[in-house]
Structure 1
Amino acid sequence: MFFLFILITFFEPSVNALLAFMENAPLLVVVMAFFIFWIVCWLPIATISAILLNWQPPKPLQPEQKMPLLASLYLLAPLILWGVSWLTNKSFLDYGFVGNLSTFGSLALGFSLGVASLAIVFSGQLALGWCSFEKTNFKLLLPILLQIFLIALLVGGIEELVFRGFLFTELAQDYPIWAAAAISSLIFALLHLVWEQRETAPQLPGLWLMGMVLVLARFAANGNLGLAWGLHAGWVWAIATLDTAELITYTGKASDWFTGKNKKPLAGLAGIICVLGTGMIIWFFSRYF
């Protein structure tokens, strides 16, 4: 305890100076500090994980290798964000992360809306003969539903806290709301290239539009991230479940421009319609959220 007291006393002037700087720091410094700290802190964990998983870049990541790396990156984000928010004298409340019953209600509503919107889009494609439903794979669903649900909640929650919470809030201090939404959505889309460039590139317009709709969802919920979190998690859960259980097979009767290149809905017109339609629903019914 005495040694700790000496350390605190010794570094107190530097800590106070850092606090004073970060509290009044330009927007770009705060945003860059978060992303740099996030990556720097994650790199040692990623290196050790890569060795244990026997992954040697530039080999592509297999799904069983990607998941531990993704989990470690996402679980680290709230800790880094807490540190940056402490330095800037803010809290998660400022970023729309509120722990109350209203948030959980919005989360459930958003999740239901996300799943329903994709169900409508895929039902339309099934009716048009663009894809077929593999009923024989239905038995694969039960063992994976809970696992994918928890992953979807984690991914949706962390990405909303970082992009629609922290990044959008910081940008909105110096830019008009529409510009802050557009820039944060662009960064959100581009950072998806880190994992898979070939499959992600055609999805960039769809990912950007998805980011804009999720910003709208935050506004509809009076700044609360619950609705955006649920919507994001619902989309991730539905797509991941369909892909993992291989429930959908495309028939080739429609162009990839409609169904999505590389079997990714956001890389096609169907996914764009799904996101736009969801945005319109949120816009028209925002008074009830």
Structure 2
Amino acid sequence: MADWTSRAGQGWWRGPAGVRAGWRGLAYLLIALVLVAVEIAGLAWLKPPWVRPTALLTPRIILLNEVLLLVPIYLASLAMARAEGREVAAFGLRQPRPVRALAGGLAAGIAVLSLLIGLLWGGGLARISLQGLGLVASLASLAAWLVVSLLVGVTEELGFRGYPLVALARGIGFWPAALLTSLVFALLHVSNGGESVTGILNVFGAGMILCLARQRTGGLWWPIGFHTGWDFAQNVIFGTHDSGQGCAGALLSTLPVGPAWLSGGLTGPEGSVIGLGVELAVALTILRLLPARRDDFDMDQRGPSG
């Protein structure tokens, strides 16, 4: 099948490098959507009790949700990898010293979210209090949320900065592909009940930062770590709202004070305009501290297939 996708041609379907990048990206999306639709239909038929909404987000709910998303994303990536004669790991998971990159991203994600919370607290825009969990309960909660936060990072980074970014970058260039995938990433958050306009802008900015990190590090592991650290600090360390919903088992409780556009309101810290400034600082820091590297796909080399 790889010969079929790479066979040169002329027209709206094929170019000199084979099936055009846009069609490859669309094929990936359709495969993933069909698999998600099958899962939704199965859940609607089975009606398992664990899919019912809860007052607070829990590690168990997030775990089930992310597994149900990761399976279609992985299978769609696998289908496109096989079609192109590659492996799924080639879309950003195969890079030198992945553990080091993951740990670096994790530390950076926790640090950046902590900086944002610190700015909100220092400006009188957040009120922080202890939840009063015991030592054993705190350690158990930290471990559970770390696992599910890592799963969120893997799912969303593979889903947006994996095959779609690679495929589109080969056709239209890296930064147009980054803009497009980040826009889709942000729009998919609109359906979250507690999102705001500022929150969506922050999500778009986060997508661009993660694309930048993907380009600079040559793989997905640093972005996965950063995504994990941000969610971990937000959900369990500081206990902020996440798109309008609280999280169970947090060590601290962080509540907004003042106007929502400054404090984030019920959206959480992502809903604050201060977050946009923090994201700009993060982007500049990445450009300064992370040396540019190449992965198995040199995404800055625009192929003729677009």
- Matched AA of 1:164: R
Verify the 8 A CA contact 1:259 1:271 in the aligned structure 2.
Answer: no
Matches within 5 A, 1:178-193: 178-193=175-190
Partner in structure 1 of residue 92 of structure 2: 96
The separation in 2 between residues aligned to 1:40 and 1:251, in whole angstroms, is 39
* 19, 22, 42: which one aligns with 1:25: 19
The separation in 2 between residues aligned to 1:27 and 1:60, in whole angstroms, is 41
Matches within 5 A, 1:118-267: 118-139=113-134, 141-194=138-191, 196-199=192-195, 202-221=198-217, 223-241=218-236, 242-243=239-240, 244=247, 245=250, 247-250=252-255, 252=257, 254-267=258-271
Change beyond 3 A, Cα 1:255–1:225:
same
- Matched AA of 1:218: R
Partner in structure 2 of residue 77 of structure 1: 73
The separation in 2 between residues aligned to 1:189 and 1:163, in whole angstroms, is 11
Alignment partner of 1:272 is 2:276: yes
Alpha-carbon shift at residue 209 of structure 1 (Å): 0.6
Partner in structure 1 of residue 28 of structure 2: 34
Verify the 8 A CA contact 1:22 1:30 in the aligned structure 2.
Answer: no
Alpha-carbon shift at residue 199 of structure 1 (Å): 2.1
The separation in 2 between residues aligned to 1:206 and 1:198, in whole angstroms, is 14
Alpha-carbon shift at residue 162 of structure 1 (Å): 2.1
- Matched AA of 1:41: L
Structure 2 unaligned segments of length 5 or more: list them: 8-17, 241-246, 294-306
Alpha-carbon shift at residue 60 of structure 1 (Å): 9.2
SS in structure 1 opposite 2:234? Answer: helix
Change beyond 3 A, Cα 1:193–1:89:
farther
TM-score norm. by structure 1 comes to: 0.81
Alpha-carbon shift at residue 185 of structure 1 (Å): 0.7
SS in structure 2 opposite 1:193? Answer: coil
The separation in 1 between residues aligned to 2:148 and 2:125, in whole angstroms, is 29
Alpha-carbon shift at residue 234 of structure 1 (Å): 0.8
Alpha-carbon shift at residue 275 of structure 1 (Å): 2.1
Alpha-carbon shift at residue 99 of structure 1 (Å): 5.9
Alpha-carbon shift at residue 129 of structure 1 (Å): 2.6
Alpha-carbon shift at residue 87 of structure 1 (Å): 0.9
Alignment partner of 1:283 is 2:282: no
Change beyond 3 A, Cα 1:282–1:123:
same
The separation in 2 between residues aligned to 1:134 and 1:151, in whole angstroms, is 24
- Matched AA of 2:120: Q
SS in structure 1 opposite 2:72? Answer: helix
Number of residue equivalences: 267
The separation in 1 between residues aligned to 2:273 and 2:112, in whole angstroms, is 14
The separation in 1 between residues aligned to 2:160 and 2:292, in whole angstroms, is 24
The separation in 2 between residues aligned to 1:137 and 1:39, in whole angstroms, is 42
TM-score norm. by structure 2 comes to: 0.77
The separation in 1 between residues aligned to 2:256 and 2:149, in whole angstroms, is 28
- Matched AA of 2:211: V
